[in-house]
Amino acid sequence: MTTQQKKLSMISFSGDFDKAIAVFTLASGAAAVGYEVNIFFTFWGYNAIKKAQGRATQGTGFLAKFFNFLMGGFKNLPLSRLNFGGISPHLMTYMMKKNNVATLKELIEASVQLGVNFYACEMSMVILGTKPEDYLHIKEQLGVAKFLKLAEGGQVLFI
Amino acid sequence: MTTQQKKLSMISFSGDFDKAIAVFTLASGAAAVGYEVNIFFTFWGYNAIKKAQGRATQGTGFLAKFFNFLMGGFKNLPLSRLNFGGISPHLMTYMMKKNNVATLKELIEASVQLGVNFYACEMSMVILGTKPEDYLHIKEQLGVAKFLKLAEGGQVLFI
Amino acid sequence: MTTQQKKLSMISFSGDFDKAIAVFTLASGAAAVGYEVNIFFTFWGYNAIKKAQGRATQGTGFLAKFFNFLMGGFKNLPLSRLNFGGISPHLMTYMMKKNNVATLKELIEASVQLGVNFYACEMSMVILGTKPEDYLHIKEQLGVAKFLKLAEGGQVLFI
């Protein structure tokens, strides 16, 4: 353990704004002190790193469109407890700016700059009908076995 | 670490359909590559492995019935973000079938076949007034101390 | 590992009553069998240990008041799935008492008695405009790096 790099791996499952803040605060904070950080995006977790605003999948069938309708983009992530007509992520971002705390966008950028690895869950890509190119900074698609292999010897969180 | 079997332990707390998919995808995926997998069911997590449809507890008092009313069975787990009148777990299952991804039922069966261990949280059984026999494949009832003992030396997730 | 004390660290993120029960059941259960237990409170997780009822922050500006309005106190934590007009935490507490299971208040007290360490997330304190003194038993404010340092070599859960 002494000579090995410390490691933090996270399964980013939730599409909630506040949980995305948690994921990228932990990611950038850990990377800043030298941790290897791996984020495995799955289900709603993709929301935070979508390229296209307001679309969950690039599929064109009815089901893909239905999911698109239900999922928002980076700018309209729901805030688990405070989502009054979409106003609250804006409120939270405002409070973060006002208090000189990094916003979600800044936390994601910092994570990328600090070398945090973004991985996509293979299965959820198949279900949602999306490709890694639809999201920002995806390094690779992984199944569960490869993710567990990556995470070995470090801390793992499900968020 | 080299000669020891790798281990993944999960606390399955949520009754959401999508989180149940996550639990059993991780469980079957890990077991398939040789991990010892332990799932500790507690609170709403029991939903996925209930024998009786539509009933949370086997108790007959008013409170037990109230919980029964509020909790659904395996077939009507809410999907955290997509639960429009119960249609969405069906939609998700449909999308999974369409894309040849294992459904929740199949993932649970695969987990059992692969030797995943199902444990019940003692305390929540007492609160809900249920018995291990009310659920599928429960090996044993455990308290926190025994669960932590089981989980030692491996990864632990709270889902 | 043999001579070292076992360790359980939790990030208490959610303000839900049932998840607070999970945090303090795990905390007191682990501490009772000799674990070092660290809880890192962040975002809504503070709800369970607030001194002032019904107030999230001590700030006096509009935004702080808005958050206060949205967050409840220890006695009115929402129960993720059962929150019908605030009745359900009471129902759950009643069922716990009826079955001789420790209530949330008792679990928190037991955790404190057993030496569980309560830490506050620095960043969320800045966002919410609160101070450690606004909460019960906070030992210290920490950033992500210090928390990860504390958690090293043990289990970590995000709840």
Of B98, B99, B157, Cβ closest to residue A158 = B157
Query: Which pair of structure tokens corresponds to residue B97?
Result: 């079938």
pLDDT given at position A54: 46
Is the separation of the CB atoms in C63 and A94 below 8 Å? yes
> What confidence score (pLDDT) does residue C124 get?
86
Contact C144 A26 (CB under 8 A): yes
Statement: residue B49 has pLDDT above 80: yes
The pLDDT confidence band at residue A13, using thresholds 50, 70 and 90, is very high
- Identify the weakest region by mean pLDDT among A43-52, A148-157, C58-67, C116-125: C58-67
The 10 Å Cβ neighbour count of residue B102 is 17
Quickly list H helices, chain A.
17-32, 62-70, 88-98, 104-113, 122-128, 144-151
Residue with the bigger pLDDT between A100 and B61: it is A100
Q: What is the pLDDT of residue A34?
A: 96
Q: What is the mean pLDDT of the segment spanning A121-131?
A: 85
Contacts of A101 (CB under 8 A, 6+ apart): A95, C123, C126, C127
Q: Tell whether the model's pLDDT for residue B65 goes beyond 70.
A: no
Q: What is the pTM of this model?
A: 0.88
Contact A157, A14 (CB under 8 A): no
Quote the pLDDT of residue A85: 53
In sequence order, the 6+-apart residues with CB closer than 8 A to the CB of B109 are: none
Instruction: List CB contacts of B125: < 8 A, sequence separation 6 or more.
Output: B131, B132, B141
Secondary structure string (H, E, C) spanning chain B: CCCCCCEEEEEECCCCHHHHHHHHHHHHHHHHCCCEEEEEECHHHHHHHECCCCCCCCCCCHHHHHHHHHCCCHHHCCCCCCCCCCHHHHHHHHHHHHCCCCCHHHHHHHHHHCCCEEEEEHHHHHHHCCCHHHECCEEEEECHHHHHHHHCCCEEEEC
Q: Which of B63, B67, B19 is nearest to B41 (CA)?
A: B19
pLDDT value, residue A55: 47
Tens-place pLDDT, residues C30-39: 999 999 999 9
Mean pLDDT of chain B: 83
Q: Are C7 and C38 in contact (CB under 8 A)?
A: yes
CA distance to partner chain A, nearest, from residue B109 (Å): 17
Judged by phi (left if over 0) then psi (alpha if -120 to 50, else beta), residue B106 lies in alpha
Mean of pLDDT values over A75-85: 59
Q: What is the pLDDT of residue A86?
A: 58
Average pLDDT rounded to a whole number, residues C38-43: 95
3-state secondary structure A43-87: HHHHHHHECCCCCCCCCCCHHHHHHHHHCCCHHHCCCCCCCCCCC
**Interface contact A6-C152, CB threshold 8 A:** yes
Complete domains list, chain C, with CATH: 7-158 (3.40.1260.10)
Which pLDDT belongs to residue B92?
A: 79
Which is more confidently placed, B71 or C109?
A: C109
- How would residue B56 be classed by pLDDT, with cut points 50, 70 and 90? very low
B44 compared with A33, residue with greater pLDDT: A33
Res B1: pLDDT: 45
Say which residue, C75 or C147, is predicted with more confidence: C147
Name the percent of chain C lying above pLDDT 70.
Answer: 75
Tell me if chain A has a CB within 8 Å of the CB of C61: no
Return the pLDDT at C54. 46
Contacting partners of chain B (3+ CB pairs under 8 A): A, C
* Tokens found for residue B76: 């009507």
pLDDT at B74: 53
Q: What is the pLDDT of residue C91?
A: 77
Q: Which residues of A touch B94 (CB under 8 A)?
A: 63
Mean pLDDT of B24-50: 94
Query: For residues C89 and C131, which has the higher predicted lDDT (pLDDT)?
Result: C131
Q: Report whether pLDDT(C141) > 80.
A: yes
Buried b (16+ CB within 10 A) or exposed e, C105-114: eebbbbbbeb
- Nearest one of A82, A74, A83 to C128, comparing CA atoms: A82
What are B32's two structure tokens? 């398939």
Q: What are phi and psi of C9, to 5 degrees?
A: -120, 140
Confidence of residue A1 (pLDDT cuts 50, 70, 90): very low
For testing contact with chain B, the best of A40, A70, A146, A158 (most B CBs within 10 A) = A158
Q: Does the pLDDT of residue C159 top 90, yes or no?
A: yes
* Average pLDDT score over chain A: 83
Put simply, whether B148 touches C (Cβ < 8 Å) is: yes
